[in-house]
Amino acid sequence: MSNPSAPDGPPDEPADAPAAPHRVIGTPPPAQARTLLGDGTGDGTGDGARPAPRDLPADPQNLRQAKTAERIVAALFILSTLASIGFIAAYVGLELNSVDSVLRSNLALGTSMSVAFLALAVGATIWVRHIMPNVELTEQRHPLASDPEAREAFAETFAEGAEASQFVKRPVLRRTLIAATVPLAVAPIVLLRDMGPLPGTTLRHTVWRKGMRLLKYGAYTPISPGEFSSPGGMITVVPDGYQDDPDALASATSIIIKFQPGLLQPPTVMNWTVDNIVCYSKICTHVGCPAALYEQTTHHILCPCHQSTFDAPRGATVLFGPAPRPLPQLPITTDAQGYLVAQSDFHEPVGPSYWERG
Amino acid sequence: MTLTEKLLEGTGGWLDDRFHGAKGFRTLFRKIFPDHWTFLLGEIALYSFIILLLTGTFLTLWFQPSMTEVVYHGSYTPLHGVRMSEAYASTLNISFDVRGGLLMRQIHHWAADLFVAAILVHMLRIFFTGAYRKPREVNWLIGIVMFTLALLEGLFGYSLPDDLLSGTGLRITEGVLLGIPIVGTYLSFFLFGGTFPGNVIIPRLYIIHVLLIPGLLLALISAHLFIMFWQKHTQMPSKGRTNTNVVGAPTYPYFMAKTGAFFFFTFAVLALASTFAQINPIWLYGPYTPVAISAGSQPDFYMGFLEGSLRIFPSWTWDIFGHTIAWNVLIPALLPLGLILTGAALWPFIEQWITGDRREHHVNDRPRNVPTRTAIGMATITFYGVLWLEGANDVIADHLNISLYLTTEIARYAIFIGPAVAYFVTKRICLGLQRKDLHLLEHGVETGIIRQLPSGEYIEETRPVDEDGRAVLEARRPPPALPGGPDAADEEVPPRAMRGGLGRVRERLNEVLTESVPLDGHGNGYGGHGNGHGDGHPAEPAAIPSGEAAGDGSGDDQEDGQA
Amino acid sequence: MSFTWRRRPAAGYAVVLLGLILVGAIYAAITGSGESAASTTPTASQAAIAKGQQIFDLTCATCHGLQAQGTAVAPSLIGVGSAAVYFQTSTGRMPAKATDAENDRKTPQLNPLEIRQVGAYIQSLGGGPAIPTPAMVSTIGANLALGQALFTADCAQCHNFDGAGGALTYGKYAPALTASTPTQIYTAMLTGPEAMPVFNDTTITPSEKRDVIAYVTAVRATPNPGGFSLGRVGPVTEGLVAFLGLLFFMVLAAMWITAKHRKTADE
Please indicate, yes or no, if residue A353 is contained in any of the structural domains.
yes
Does residue A8 have a pLDDT over 80?
no
Please indicate, yes or no, if residue B234 is contained in any of the structural domains.
yes
Give ∠ CA A234-A238-A242 in degrees, rounded to 5. 170
Does residue A53 have a pLDDT over 80?
no
Does residue B530 have a pLDDT over 80?
no
Q: What is the pLDDT of residue A27?
A: 45
Which residue, B37, B96, B134, B100, is CA-closest to B359? Answer: B134
> pLDDT-based confidence at B227, cuts 50/70/90?
very high
Across the interface, of C168, C223, C266, the residue whose CB is closest to A103 is C223
- What distance in Å separates the CA atoms of residue A321 and residue B411, rounded to the nearest whole number? 13
Which residue, B25, B32, B495, B500, is CA-closest to B251? Answer: B32
Q: What is the pLDDT of residue A30?
A: 45
Average pLDDT over residues A273-282: 96
**Cβ neighbours of residue B362 closer than 8 Å, sequence gap 6 or more:** A141, B232, B234, B235, B243, B244, B246
> pLDDT-based confidence at A317, cuts 50/70/90?
very high
Does residue B454 have a pLDDT over 50?
yes
- What distance in Å separates the CA atoms of residue A244 and residue B290, rounded to the nearest whole number? 11
Average pLDDT over residues B478-497: 66
Q: What is the pLDDT of residue C6?
A: 59
User: Could you tell me if A20 and A80 lie in one domain?
Assistant: no
Which residue, C221, C22, C45, is CA-closest to C117? Answer: C45
Measured in degrees and rounded to the nearest 5, phi and psi for residue C174 equal -90, 120
Q: What is the pLDDT of residue C19?
A: 78
**Cβ neighbours of residue C54 closer than 8 Å, sequence gap 6 or more:** none
Residues of chain A found within 8 Å of residue C222, distances taken between Cβ atoms? 99
User: Looking at per-residue confidence, does B296 or C197 come out higher?
Assistant: C197
Instruction: Please count the other Cβ atoms lying within 10 Å of the Cβ belonging to residue C119.
Output: 30
Q: What is the pLDDT of residue C30?
A: 52
Subunit contact B273:C246, Cβ cutoff 8 A? yes
Total domains in the fold of chain B: 1
Half-sphere exposure of B238 (CA within 13 A, CB side): 11
> pLDDT-based confidence at B544, cuts 50/70/90?
very low
Please indicate, yes or no, if residue B145 is contained in any of the structural domains.
yes
> Residue A147: left (phi > 0), alpha (psi -120 to 50), or beta?
beta
Does residue A39 have a pLDDT over 50?
no
Q: What is the pLDDT of residue B136?
A: 96
What would the CATH number be for the domain defined by C38-131?
Answer: 1.10.760.10
Instruction: Please count the other Cβ atoms lying within 10 Å of the Cβ belonging to residue C51.
Output: 21
Measured in degrees and rounded to the nearest 5, phi and psi for residue A324 equal -90, -20
Residues of chain C found within 8 Å of residue B258, distances taken between Cβ atoms? 257-258
- Give 3-state DSSP helix, strand, coil % of chain B, rounded to 5: 60, 5, 35
User: Could you tell me if A114 and A223 lie in one domain?
Assistant: no
Q: What is the pLDDT of residue B519?
A: 74
Residues of chain C found within 8 Å of residue A295, distances taken between Cβ atoms? 168-169, 172, 195
Please indicate, yes or no, if residue B255 is contained in any of the structural domains.
yes
Neighbours of chain A (3+ CB pairs under 8 A): B, C
Across the interface, of A217, A233, A257, the residue whose CB is closest to C153 is A217
Q: What is the pLDDT of residue A255?
A: 96
Which residue, A117, A99, C110, is CA-closest to B270? Answer: A117
Q: What is the pLDDT of residue B488?
A: 58
Determine which of B13-17, B545-549, C40-44, C84-88 has the lowest per-residue pLDDT on average.
B545-549
3-state secondary structure chain A: CCCCCCCCCCCCCCCCCCCCCCCCCCCCCHHHHHHHHCCCCCCCCCCCCCCCCCCCCCCCCCHHHHHHHHHHHHHHHHHHHHHHHHHHHHHHHCCCCCHHHHHHHHHHHHHHHHHHHHHHHHHHHHHHHHHCCCCCEEEECCCCCCCHHHHHHHHHHHHHHHHHHCCCCCHHHHHHHHHHHHHHHHHHHHHHHHHCCCCCCHHHCCCCCCCCEEEECCCCCECCCCCCCCCCEEEEEEECCCCCCHHHHHHHCEEEEECCCCCCCCCCCHHHCECCEEEEECECCCCCCECCEEECCCCEEECCCCCCEEEHHHCCEEEECCCCCCCCECCEEECCCCCEEECCCCCCCCCCCCCCCC
Give ∠ CA A122-A123-A127 in degrees, rounded to 5. 115
Does residue B552 have a pLDDT over 50?
no
Subunit contact C157:A292, Cβ cutoff 8 A? yes
Q: Quote the mean pLDDT of chain C.
A: 84
Average pLDDT over residues C222-235: 88
Which residue, C112, C122, C109, is CA-closest to C52? Answer: C122
Range of B155's domain? 29-365
Q: What is the pLDDT of residue A161?
A: 94
DSSP state of C100: -
Q: Which residue of C has its CA nearest to A304?
A: C157
Average pLDDT over residues C61-69: 88
Across the interface, of C152, C162, C219, the residue whose CB is closest to B292 is C152
**Global ipTM:** 0.86
Q: Quote the mean pLDDT of chain A.
A: 86
Sign of CA dihedral C127, C131, C136, C137: positive
Q: What is the pLDDT of residue C95?
A: 84
Average pLDDT over residues A100-110: 95
Q: What is the pLDDT of residue C100?
A: 66
pLDDT digits (tens, 9 = 90+) for B398-423: 888 888 999 999 999 999 999 999 99
> Which CATH number belongs to the domain containing residue A257 in this structure?
2.102.10.10
- Residue A234: strand pairing partners: A257
Cβ–Cβ under 8 Å, residues B122 and B147: no
Which residue, B360, B347, B384, is CA-closest to B513? Answer: B347
Whether B393 has its CB under 8 Å from any CB of chain A: the answer is yes
Of the residues B88, B176, B245, B275, the best mutation for testing chain A's interface (the one with the most A CB atoms within 10 Å of its CB) is: B275
> pLDDT-based confidence at A112, cuts 50/70/90?
very high
- What distance in Å separates the CA atoms of residue B177 and residue B185, rounded to the nearest whole number? 7
- What distance in Å separates the CA atoms of residue B406 and residue B413, rounded to the nearest whole number? 11
Burial of C135 (0-12, 13-18, 19+ CB in 10 A): exposed
| Helices C81-90/C112-126 angle, 10° precision | 150
Please indicate, yes or no, if residue B265 is contained in any of the structural domains.
yes
Whether A136 has its CB under 8 Å from any CB of chain C: the answer is no
Q: pLDDT over 90 for what percent of chain A?
A: 76
pLDDT digits (tens, 9 = 90+) for B161-171: 999 999 999 99
DSSP class per residue in B368-432: GGSHHHHHHHHHHHHHHHHHHHHHTHHHHHHHHT--HHHHHHHHHHHHHHHHHHHHHHHHHHHHH
Subunit contact B301:C222, Cβ cutoff 8 A? no
Subunit contact A355:B5, Cβ cutoff 8 A? no
Strand, helix or coil at C91? coil
Determine which of B25-29, B105-109, C208-212 has the lowest per-residue pLDDT on average.
B25-29
Average pLDDT over residues B87-92: 97
Does residue A305 have a pLDDT over 80?
yes
> pLDDT-based confidence at B116, cuts 50/70/90?
very high
Range of A70's domain? 60-131
Q: Quote the mean pLDDT of chain B.
A: 88
Strand, helix or coil at C250? helix
Does residue B542 have a pLDDT over 50?
no
Whether B218 has its CB under 8 Å from any CB of chain A: the answer is no
Instruction: Please count the other Cβ atoms lying within 10 Å of the Cβ belonging to residue A97.
Output: 10
- Residue B83: strand pairing partners: B71
C-alpha distance from residue B126 to each of B121, B133, B251, B425 (Å): 9, 9, 22, 21
Cβ–Cβ under 8 Å, residues A176 and A309: no
Q: Which of residues 89-118 of B touch A (CB under 8 A)?
A: 95-100, 102-103, 106
Please indicate, yes or no, if residue A214 is contained in any of the structural domains.
yes
> pLDDT-based confidence at C75, cuts 50/70/90?
confident
Whether A287 has its CB under 8 Å from any CB of chain B: the answer is yes
- What distance in Å separates the CA atoms of residue C185 and residue C113, rounded to the nearest whole number? 19
- What distance in Å separates the CA atoms of residue A246 and residue A220, rounded to the nearest whole number? 14
Q: What is the pLDDT of residue B21?
A: 87
User: Could you tell me if A77 and A212 lie in one domain?
Assistant: no
Burial of A190 (0-12, 13-18, 19+ CB in 10 A): exposed
Cβ–Cβ under 8 Å, residues B261 and A125: yes
User: Could you tell me if A320 and A344 lie in one domain?
Assistant: yes
User: Could you tell me if A300 and A285 lie in one domain?
Assistant: yes
Please indicate, yes or no, if residue A196 is contained in any of the structural domains.
no
- What distance in Å separates the CA atoms of residue B408 and residue B5, rounded to the nearest whole number? 70
Strand, helix or coil at C165? coil
Q: pLDDT over 70 for what percent of chain C?
A: 85
Q: What is the pLDDT of residue B147?
A: 97
- What distance in Å separates the CA atoms of residue A111 and residue A94, rounded to the nearest whole number? 14
> pLDDT-based confidence at A213, cuts 50/70/90?
very high
> pLDDT-based confidence at B182, cuts 50/70/90?
very high
Please indicate, yes or no, if residue B138 is contained in any of the structural domains.
yes
Which residue, A257, A303, A302, A301, is CA-closest to A278? Answer: A257
Average pLDDT over residues B281-292: 94
> Which CATH number belongs to the domain containing residue B227 in this structure?
1.20.810.10
- What distance in Å separates the CA atoms of residue A108 and residue A129, rounded to the nearest whole number? 32
Does residue A13 have a pLDDT over 50?
no
Average pLDDT over residues C119-136: 90
Measured in degrees and rounded to the nearest 5, phi and psi for residue B474 equal -90, -5
User: Could you tell me if A323 and A244 lie in one domain?
Assistant: yes
Sign of CA dihedral C227, C228, C229, C235: negative
Does residue B545 have a pLDDT over 50?
no
Subunit contact C226:B284, Cβ cutoff 8 A? no
Q: Which of residues 45-84 of C touch B (CB under 8 A)?
A: none
User: Looking at per-residue confidence, does C37 or B82 come out higher?
Assistant: B82
- What distance in Å separates the CA atoms of residue C13 and residue B561, rounded to the nearest whole number? 125
Total domains in the fold of chain A: 3
As a whole number of Å, the CA-based R_g of chain C is 30
User: Could you tell me if A210 and A350 lie in one domain?
Assistant: yes
Does residue B43 have a pLDDT over 70?
yes
> pLDDT-based confidence at C263, cuts 50/70/90?
low
What residue ranges do the domains of chain C occupy?
A: 38-131, 134-236
Helix (H) or strand (E) holding B191: helix B184-192
User: Could you tell me if A110 and A231 lie in one domain?
Assistant: no
DSSP class per residue in C186-214: HHHHHH--TTSPB--TTTS-HHHHHHHHH
pLDDT digits (tens, 9 = 90+) for B418-445: 999 999 999 999 999 999 998 888 888 8
Does residue C27 have a pLDDT over 50?
yes
What would the CATH number be for the domain defined by C134-236?
Answer: 1.10.760
Does residue A25 have a pLDDT over 80?
no
Please indicate, yes or no, if residue B467 is contained in any of the structural domains.
no
User: Could you tell me if A267 and A348 lie in one domain?
Assistant: yes
Please indicate, yes or no, if residue A17 is contained in any of the structural domains.
yes
Average pLDDT over residues C41-54: 79
Residue type, A314: R
User: Looking at per-residue confidence, does C214 or C164 come out higher?
Assistant: C214
- What distance in Å separates the CA atoms of residue C142 and residue C182, rounded to the nearest whole number? 13
**Cβ neighbours of residue A334 closer than 8 Å, sequence gap 6 or more:** A224, A225, A274, A340, A341
Average pLDDT over residues A27-33: 43
Average pLDDT over residues B143-156: 97
